[in-house]
Amino acid sequence: MIVEVALNLPLQKTFDYAWPEGLDVDPVPGLRVLVPFARRKMGGVITALKKHSDFSPLKKVEKTIEEDPSMTGEILDLCRWVASYYFCGWGEVLNSSLPGGMGLLLRQEFVRKRESLPGVEMLGKPFQNLVSTKERWSLEDWNRNQPGNEEKKLLKEWLRQGHLEKVQTFAGQRSRPKMERWVRLLNPEAKGDPKRKKTKKVQILEKLKKSPESSWEEIRSSIPNPAQALKNLEKEGVVEFFEKRVFRRFLAEPMPPIEEFQQLTDDQQKVFEELDDSIHKDEYQTFLLEGVTGSGKTEVYLHAVRLTQELGKSSLVLVPEISLTPLLVNRFRSRFGDNVAVLHSGMDDGERYDEWSRVRNGLTSIVVGARSAVFAPLNNLGLVIVDEEHDGSYKQAETPRYHARDVAVYRGFKANATVLLGSATPSLESSYNVQLGKYHPLFLKKRIFQPELPEVRLMDLKHCDRQKGSPYFSMELLEAIRQRLIRREQVLIFLNRRGYAPLMICEECNETLTCPNCSLSLVFHQGIGGLRCHHCDYFLPTPKTCPECGSKGPQKIVGSGTEQIEMELKNIFPRAEIMRMDRDALHGKHALSKMQRRIHDHEVDIVVGTQLITKGHDFPNVTLVGAILADLSLNLPDFRAGERTFQLLTQVAGRAGRAEKPGEVFIQTYNPRHHSLQCARDHDAKRYLEVELKQRKVLKVPPYWSMVLILCSSPSEKRAETLASMVRGRIKKIPQNVTIIGPLESPLKKLRNRFRWQVLLKAPEISVLKSLLNEMMQEPIKVQKDELLQIDVDPHHLI
């Protein structure tokens, strides 16, 4: 028997291996195995079985990693499609489809072949101890003693002369199933000593008669030190012990009480009926539900999931990472109880592995999760929901660079499922698909509680009066805040930049402090007393002298971030409770939901935050939203900058006045005439779509044209350029309709110590670009150590 195995390599092809005699498990597609590859061992996934191979001799599979395959046939196929669409390795996608805790532990070890090693006395004490007392030790043990040149040289010599052997050992999976010891009552007739009433034995038997299977933990909680009595009972054959798998849970708190489903409003009912039809039909169909925040989309999702459950099918619900808070999750749990599995990156490895296992073992049929949950191994999928479908975080920034929304649509298509994309501000791509007739449009135009949308005002920073000493605030905005504080209402202040100020400039030489690893200026953070790079996290304590000219002169800070806005508000409104909500303020696992709860319970009056404040729960008492500077996202050199700004502002504005109280929104800007801002002001998504689509057509960018970005990066500037030229050189003849931009230096020319050059390919059809890519990359382009050649299909970040 021969198996094809996909390995975690940037290659689309699989490798053939012989299946050896004597393994306990039979080969099936989806099973993970350990195989030899290029003088080492690697984990891989069986993708097919066959009788013959074109290669010989074949190496043998070394070991099976599991008894039951991790991958279902559906996920295998889905990953293959992702690999071919996004131009990366099948094994790479398979690997990233599994929770991190399922990664394999492969250790490098050294095995001593001689009684003593020549020259050992030349080493430091810790090394001598290690290599003389042990027969084998790991690379980590060795490195922990911080080997210097002497040690390194000697190690190499020992290996060369065969005194030592380097081997790789497999130490299982990173997260293991958590097992608990349990007790099962075998003889319900058993009795304790009738004369002695409350012996441990009697107590244990009483307990077991109520619940014949109990964990040791449970017994111990009511009967102290039960071990001896339990062991005696086992000897007597009254009970037996067994191991039971328990699933670690992220949400330790008890299940929220079960809630009734809301009676749908007429508008919701209309939307639901279309979904109902489609879900019953077992045919693929994608819907785009456009509904302002607070219009009751989530309630519709819940109803659709219930219907899917009733039909015996499973549901996949994707939401952006940061909206995946316990508040949202509990809305699902309070309707469907333990049938909901939650998958996101805030969970630790064990928890995520266990949730995933619950899905794989069929213990749940509803998954609510972030991006990578699109690969959750649900069977019999009936419904796929992608909430906030426009959100950029669905696109993965590293290999495999898939877009979870698009993968979700494809998954639904293959599974004959109903796909529901929801958003207050649909992406241009999805809206265009409605125009093309590929997606079916649905609308929820009114909010449930507050039929009026908030009044939005654009404040022209060039002309409005500013607060003295706090130039970032218009007088009107401050006055509006003051009014809310008097009325005991809450305020959200939005600025999409964390830190205190984005620039620190020397007054002597006018140089800006920049990151040594990236071509970006460092952001001043007062809280940590220094400057930080927002891309590579480089930190520089506030310098006493200018690193450029050495002058002790004053350093000037320019611009503002959330930290500064928070401080200024504290000065202006000393009695108000103010909370900052950005990545710097998030500490610990449940930080975001704690903050949301504080807002909800009105423990804070003013919240200053980045886009973290735009997501999540209802804040019924928020009646004012202020955007300090809308231009931040508008001015990026990216054709999606306007779209993102429109979406962001619409989302932020949607936070104002959700309950009985009307809301008001102030947007401060230097570009009050920009259509992204004007349409956000008028809540006019339709006009926005028209204007923006027209521009996109002229610019020849998505959704009309498809793009592939090839990014070459190297520690050497020259090499980055050379690589990009090599990429360009691979295109011998430019196919009709294809536009090539580059090789060019990337707008962000240096990042994390690598210089970046790029080639951008554009065409009206992605298929043209895919075949061009296939042709170009037939022979892989060789990169050196620390260099990267990244292919990004449908790129979302062009800088």
User: Contact residues for ligand ADP (CB under 6 A)?
Assistant: 262-265, 268, 291, 293-299, 448, 618
Shortest Å, Cβ 753 to Zn ion? 8
What binding mask, one character per residue, do residues 502-521 give for Zn ion by CB under 5 A, x or -? ----x-xx-----x-xx---
Q: Which does 515 bind (CB under 5 to 8 A by kind): Zn ion, ligand ADP, none?
A: Zn ion
531 forms part of the interface with Zn ion (CB under 5 A): no
- Least distance to ligand ADP from the beta carbon of 650, Å? 12
Q: How far is the CB of 648 from ligand ADP (least distance, A)?
A: 16
Range list of H helices, 52-147: 73-85, 90-97, 125-133, 139-144
Query: Which option in Zn ion, ligand ADP, none does residue 264 bind, with CB closer than 5 to 8 A by kind?
Result: ligand ADP
What residue 295 binds from ligand ADP, Zn ion, none (CB within 5 to 8 A, per partner kind)? ligand ADP
Indicate which single residue of 319, 533, 708, 710 sits in contact with Zn ion (rule: CB under 5 A).
Answer: 533
Structure tokens at 325: 């808070």
Q: Which is nearer to ligand ADP, 202 or 448 (CB)?
A: 448
Q: Which is nearer to ligand ADP, 162 or 257 (CB)?
A: 257
Instruction: For residue 524, give every residue at least 6 positions away whose Cβ sits within 8 Å of its Cβ, in sequence order, or none.
Output: 499, 500, 501, 502, 503, 504, 530, 531, 542, 557
Q: How far is the CB of 620 from ligand ADP (least distance, A)?
A: 8
In the list Zn ion, ligand ADP, none, the entry touching 618 (Cβ below 5 to 8 angstroms by class) is ligand ADP
Residue 227 binds to Zn ion (criterion: CB under 5 A): no
Q: Which residue bears the tokens 């989309």?
A: 297
35: amino acid identity, one letter: V
Quick one: which segment of 302-310, 445-453, 546-554, 694-702 binds Zn ion (CB under 5 A)? 546-554
Q: In the range 443-462, which residues lie near Zn ion by CB under 5 A?
A: none
Give least dist CB 234 to ligand ADP, A.
Answer: 52
Nearer to ligand ADP among residue 295 and residue 676 (C-beta): 295
Contact call for residue 546 and Zn ion (CB under 5 A): yes
Alpha carbons 22 and 64: distance in angstroms, whole number: 11
749 makes contact with Zn ion (CB under 5 A): no
Query: Residue 191, Cβ neighbours under 10 Å: how many?
Result: 10
298 binds, among ligand ADP, Zn ion, none (CB under 5 to 8 A by kind): ligand ADP
Window 598-617: contact mask with Zn ion (x via CB under 5 A): --------------------
What's the token pair of residue 447?
A: 């909010």
**Is the previous residue joined to 57 through a cis bond, with omega within 30 degrees of 0?**
yes
Binding to Zn ion by residue 549, rule CB under 5 A? yes
Which of the choices ligand ADP, Zn ion, none does residue 291 contact, using the CB cut-off of 5 to 8 A by kind?
ligand ADP
Strand 63-64 with 32-37, pairing: antiparallel
506 binds, among Zn ion, ligand ADP, none (CB under 5 to 8 A by kind): Zn ion
DSSP 8-state symbol, 93: H
How far is C-alpha 450 from the chain's CA centre? 33
Q: Judging by beta carbons within 10 Å of its beta carbon (0-12, 13-18, 19+), is residue 626 exposed, middle or buried?
A: buried
**Strand, coil or helix: 791:** strand
Please identify, using beta-carbon distances, which residue of 263 and 736 lies nearer to ligand ADP: 263
Q: Could you tell me if 519 and 512 are in contact, meaning their C-beta atoms sit under 8 angstroms apart? A: no
Q: Closer to Zn ion at the Cβ: 156 or 583?
A: 583
What are the beta bridge partners of residue 230? Answer: none
The two three-digit tokens of residue 752, written as one number: 């994390």
Alpha-carbon span 670 to 760, nearest angstrom = 31
> Binders of Zn ion: how many residues, by CB under 5 A?
13
| Residue nearer to ligand ADP on the CB measure, 448 or 788 | 448
Give min distance, CB of 754 to Zn ion, in A.
11
Phi first, then psi: give them for residue 97, nearest 5 degrees. -80, -15
C-alpha of 194 from chain center: 61
Alpha-carbon distances, residue 357 vs 66, 177, 312, 341, 342 (angstroms): 13, 9, 20, 10, 11
48, 120, 475, 536: residue in contact with Zn ion (rule CB under 5 A): 536
CA distance 167 to 68: 28
Q: Which is nearer to ligand ADP, 90 or 619 (CB)?
A: 619
Strand partners of residue 383: 315, 418
Contacts of 198 (CB under 8 A, 6+ apart): none
Minimum distance from residue 556 beta carbon to Zn ion (Å): 11
Structural contact between residues 788 and 781, judged by C-beta atoms closer than 8 angstroms: no
Point out which residues bind Zn ion (CB under 5 A). 506, 508-509, 515, 517-518, 533, 535-536, 538, 546, 548-549
